[in-house]
Amino acid sequence: MVKALAPETAHPATGETRSAHCAGSPSLPEVPVIVITAPTGEICRQVLDTLLDGGRPVRVIARDPGRLAPRTRDRAEVVQGSHSDPEVLAEAFKGADSVLWLVPPNSRAEDIQEHYLGFTRPACDAITAQGVERVVGVTSLGRGYGGHAGLLSPAFAMDDMIESTGVGYRALAMPFFMENLLHQVEAIRTQGMFSMPNRADRPLATVATRDIAATAARLLSDDSWSGQETVPVIGPDSLSPDAMAEVLTEVLERPVRFQQADPEAYKAMMTRYGMSDAWAQGLVDMAIAQSDGIYDAEQRAVTSPAPTGFHQWCEEVLKPAVLA
Ligand X SMILES: NC(=O)c1ccc[n+]([C@@H]2O[C@H](COP(=O)([O-])OP(=O)(O)OC[C@H]3O[C@@H](n4cnc5c(N)ncnc54)[C@H](OP(=O)(O)O)[C@@H]3O)[C@@H](O)[C@H]2O)c1
Verify binding: residue 40, ligand X, rule CB under 6 A: yes
Verify binding: residue 170, ligand X, rule CB under 6 A: no
Binds ligand X (CB under 6 A): choice among 3, 12, 53, 67: 67
CA-CA distance, 57 to 18, in Å (whole number)? 9
CB 128 → ligand X: shortest distance, Å?
A: 21
Exposed e or buried b for every residue in 241-257, given b needs 16+ CB within 10 A?
bebbbebbeebbeeebb
Part of the chain binding ligand X (CB under 6 A), chosen from 17-25, 28-36, 97-105, 306-314: 97-105
Q: Of 189, 302, 182, 295, whose CA–CA distance to 239 is shortest?
A: 295
CB 44 → ligand X: shortest distance, Å?
A: 6
CA-CA distance, 22 to 62, in Å (whole number)? 17
Tell the burial category of 55 from Cβ atoms under 10 Å away from its Cβ (0-12, 13-18, 19+).
exposed
Do 51 and 224 contact (CB within 8 A), yes or no?
Answer: no
Binds ligand X (CB under 6 A): choice among 4, 25, 41, 128: 41
Binds ligand X (CB under 6 A): choice among 72, 120, 130, 140: 140
C-beta closer to ligand X: residue 21 or 63: 63
Verify binding: residue 82, ligand X, rule CB under 6 A: yes
Binds ligand X (CB under 6 A): choice among 22, 33, 35, 84: 84
The length of the chain in residues reads: 324
Verify binding: residue 122, ligand X, rule CB under 6 A: no
CB 312 → ligand X: shortest distance, Å?
A: 18
Tell the burial category of 287 from Cβ atoms under 10 Å away from its Cβ (0-12, 13-18, 19+).
buried
Verify binding: residue 43, ligand X, rule CB under 6 A: yes
Binds ligand X (CB under 6 A): choice among 32, 42, 184, 199: 42
Q: Of 288, 237, 239, 299, whose CA–CA distance to 266 is shortest?
A: 288
Binding site for ligand X (CB under 6 A): 38, 40-43, 63-64, 67, 82-84, 102-105, 138, 140, 155, 174, 176-177, 180
